[in-house]
Amino acid sequence: MQIKLYNSISEELRKHWKTIEKKNFYKNEIFSELFWIENWYNTVGKYSKINLAFIVVFENNFPIMLFPFCINKKLGISILRFLGGDQSDYSSPLISKELKKINIKNEFLEKLDKILPEHDVKFYRNIPEYFKNIFEQNKSLVSNNFSLRIDINGDWNDYKKNVKKKRLHDARRQRKRLQEKGELKFVIINSKENINNFYNVFFIQKSKRYISTGVKDIFKNLKLKKFYKNFSNNHSERMHLSMLMLDNEILATHWGVIRNKKFYFLMPTFSDKWSRYSPGRLLMEELIHWCHDKGFGVFDFTIGDEGYKYEWSNSEEKLYNIIEAYSWRGKAYLIFLKARETLKNIKTLKSLVLLFRKNFQFL
């Protein structure tokens, strides 16, 4: 097994990346694919203090695994992490299906550490359970998060039997109330005109929701707006944009991605004006129904423990973190992270912070 480091997205690296993607393994996540990483780097990453560090693993000169790493500089501390920032819900390598035939030996991580650039901290976040075997020799591997999803087996009617009747009844009631006011439509975006209209409403609705809940509005950052819009310009076949409309008014939107037969439920929005009718939930139900009809295997809610996900999901997957320090700077950073986590868990302080953000969003 050979390992090679690349410090840029060169044509040679691109070739290896595409070779691994062609030898597709169904457990790979979309957040490690070339189209996602390259778009993130070109719109967001290259304006940050990061150095690229792609690792390609070869067997008999054939690429079988790729780690999209970077070194992130923060307060003079070098942090090794997966590329993609907060826009990538999972962190994992991209692997060829040929890797299933290969036993990853104990010394693999030692070889990996030797070729990686010098760093103070290793911080891998939200590694899906399937990929933990690659890192299981690492003593700092811990599970402290999970993702919820729907494993689709059977048709829509079979699935509904396992959803609480009250939830289905509430959805029917809200849908009926809206239908009394006009024509209620589930729309999948496929024209340029509709795409532009979608993004105009999507950004406004999401920003309003961030502000109303006291969460930082990421769309004040124009680079992040470009990150999301770019996918529709350059990778429309991977995108799934949808809306719930009442006559000509958009009540809710969803920005999602498709990989093989897996649907990623990533960025839902809804109109505050119509919130009492739960348009976001109605749109989500339409999407789940659509996935059943189209023969999808998984509807992935990804990270987050929102209550509605528990009501609709039928499966969960553990996610793992690795946090290790390699210098005194790294150790100081870990102390800072633990202190920050402790403060987050103090409910009173958390409430005050949310209240402050809500009332001083303009600062």
Listing DSSP states for 293-314 in one string gives HTT-SEEEEEE---HHHHHH--
Domain 2-146+319-326 and domain 153-296, same fold? Reply is yes
| Per-residue pLDDT at 285 exceeds 70 | yes
| Bridge partner list, 351 | none
pLDDT (0 to 100) of residue 103: 57
Instruction: Compute the distance between CA of residue 207 and CA of residue 222 in angstroms, rounded to an integer.
Output: 12
pLDDT (0 to 100) of residue 363: 34
pLDDT, greater one: 126 or 349: 126
Name every residue whose Cβ is closer than 8 Å to that of residue 223 and which is 6 or more positions away in sequence. Answer: 43, 44, 47
Q: Enter the DSSP assignment of 88.
A: -
pLDDT (0 to 100) of residue 202: 97
pLDDT (0 to 100) of residue 111: 85
Q: Which CATH architecture has domain 2-146+319-326?
A: 3-Layer(aba) Sandwich (3.40)
Asked which of 95-104, 150-159, 169-178 is least confident by mean pLDDT, the reply is 95-104
Quick one: tokens of 180?
Answer: 């009394």
Instruction: Compute the distance between CA of residue 184 and CA of residue 246 in angstroms, rounded to an integer.
Output: 5
152-168 burial, b for 16+ CB within 10 Å, e for fewer? beeeeeebeeebeeeee
Planar angle of CA 220, 221, 223, nearest 5 degrees: 145
Phi, psi angle pair for 12, to nearest 5°: -65, -45
pLDDT (0 to 100) of residue 361: 44
Q: For the segment 322-358, what is each residue's pLDDT rounded down to a tens digit?
A: 899 999 999 998 888 888 777 766 655 555 565 555 4
Q: Which CATH architecture has domain 153-296?
A: 3-Layer(aba) Sandwich (3.40)
pLDDT (0 to 100) of residue 362: 37
| Per-residue pLDDT at 138 exceeds 50 | yes
Q: Return the domain boundaries, the chain.
A: 2-146+319-326, 153-296
pLDDT, greater one: 206 or 349: 206
User: Taking residues 119-136, what's their average pLDDT?
Assistant: 88
Instruction: Compute the distance between CA of residue 86 and CA of residue 80 in angstroms, rounded to an integer.
Output: 15
Q: For the segment 7-64, what is each residue's pLDDT rounded down to a tens digit?
A: 999 999 999 999 999 887 778 899 999 999 999 999 999 998 899 999 999 988 899 9
